[in-house]
Chains A and B, each alone.
Chain A
């Protein structure tokens, strides 16, 4: 492609092997006031 270059593949996983619930609750990370989820890791894929 001449004008558009994909630099990140789809990363929002859905369906099989998701929703295990083992990840950290987001408010328990560093913030405690301003919720951010995407800067956390998936426990499964980060291993």
Chain B
């Protein structure tokens, strides 16, 4: 499979199965596009000798394994034998904001407000260690709701995790995802010392952020959060972090939000499309998705402009590291939800990922329920349904050129928008493909 596309005036061709990328001239682009779309190449307005030259070059690349490479065999995935290496710990099903687009019902997750007791958090980590098999690197994201609302448990679980690391010869990368409202000097120090990564939610321009990210008494949160986020980031140095925003139908000019974040001094930025059903307020849907896609071109221009000015910043979805990219097995498995990644609710209930929390149809077990040998039994049928949901098994994905970049997309979004984890959301796919074309272009074309 191949994919021909244009990136800022340069014609590129991706050999999907190998990941090789070619820069081509316009006649070659037209010939290859015709091949990709199943059209006759000799119907193109070029001389037969030119088309022959191009098809000869294509044949040469094909012999070298650089063009239209055959698909590999699908890796086998058996959830029952898969270690769990990654855990989202919902330490607080409560939040100090009431964001209009929150997937977690402003912190309630369909089950009422609750904080995770330390003993439950410890039981979750015990399960992670026990289920991690031979994996050395483990990940625990402290999530909510708003995790800073359960600060003592955040500190307690990191301390407990550090003890488990020594006991079991593991390394736990703790991360935290916060709205930043409750940050103070003590929390900033702790986060910068202990967290491998920190994600702070800011939507960009003040008016955009304050329109949807409001306190319970409907006040905007921007003015409180931004100075705290700036302090955390400036004191963090080179430590990994992201300023993560959400864009909606209300700010399809989201390049302006990225610009606003760069003006605040942030250099690690991720702005994501909101995930809502098409008829919900603020949703990205058929009526506005083309505008969102076009906006990524504007954003790419801004990224390049800043590079040329010697003031580069990283936009999460325009970054691919082709030299050190993940292997096929990783790309096939995707996010790992339900297989190597699980989320734990404050009451100990286990779900395939944070977005399924509270949905009883996806309940895998509870960290407090142990069998006679101290193991936490999991619903292996549900786990296997996630293991079997991958780019080789999903009809839409197996024939898609972007499959090795998105790994099949988000199972939770597919379930939410299409009622099945096996049915990717078309709008998410179209946005992802656009971002991927730009990312490949940025990684390969010399500006």
Binding site for B on A (CB under 8 A): 1-14, 18-19, 21-43, 45-46
Contact = CB atoms under 8 A, between A and B. Distances in A.
Contacts of B275: 33-34
Contacts of B22: 4-8
A39 B381 CA distance: 31
A20 to B, nearest CB: 8
B155 interface: no
28 contacts: A2-B57, A4-B28, A6-B20, A6-B21, A8-B443, A11-B322, A14-B329, A22-B137, A23-B137, A23-B326, A24-B137, A25-B85, A26-B335, A27-B335, A30-B242, A30-B244, A31-B244, A31-B272, A32-B199, A34-B275, A34-B409, A35-B334, A35-B407, A36-B405, A37-B330, A37-B404, A37-B406, A39-B317
B88 interface: yes
Contacts of A34: 272-273, 275, 317, 409-410, 413, 428, 431-432
Contacts of A14: 72, 327-329
A19 B136 contact: no
Nearest to A11: B19
A37 B61 contact: no
A7 to B, nearest CB: 5
Contacts of B86: 24-25, 28
A13 B321 contact: no
A1 B31 CA distance: 16
Contacts of B353: 27
A10 B66 contact: yes
Given A4-B57, A24-B139, A36 B406 contact: yes
A19 B61 contact: no
Nearest to A30: B242
B6 interface: no
B326 A6 contact: no
A7 B19 contact: no
**Interface of chain A, helix or strand or loop or mixed?**
loop
A8 B432 CA distance: 21
Contact of A10 (B15, B135, B326, B355): B15
B105 to A, nearest CB: 15
B61 A6 contact: yes
Contacts of B175: 28
Given A8-B20, A10-B19, A3 B321 contact: no
A7 B23 contact: yes
B205 interface: no
B445 interface: yes
A12 B20 CA distance: 8
B414 to A, nearest CB: 10
Given A18-B327, A21-B135, A35-B407, A7 B21 contact: yes
Contacts of A33: 103, 246, 272, 275, 355, 410, 413
Pick from A5, A28, A35, A45 the residue with the most CB of B within 10 Å: A28
B409 A30 contact: no
Contacts of A13: 325, 327-328
B384 interface: no
Nearest to A45: B324
Interface in B375-432: 404-410, 413, 428, 431-432
Nearest to B177: A32
Contacts of B340: 21, 25
A31 B88 contact: no
A43 B413 CA distance: 27
A12 B19 contact: yes
B336 interface: yes
A39 B20 CA distance: 16
Contacts of B177: 32
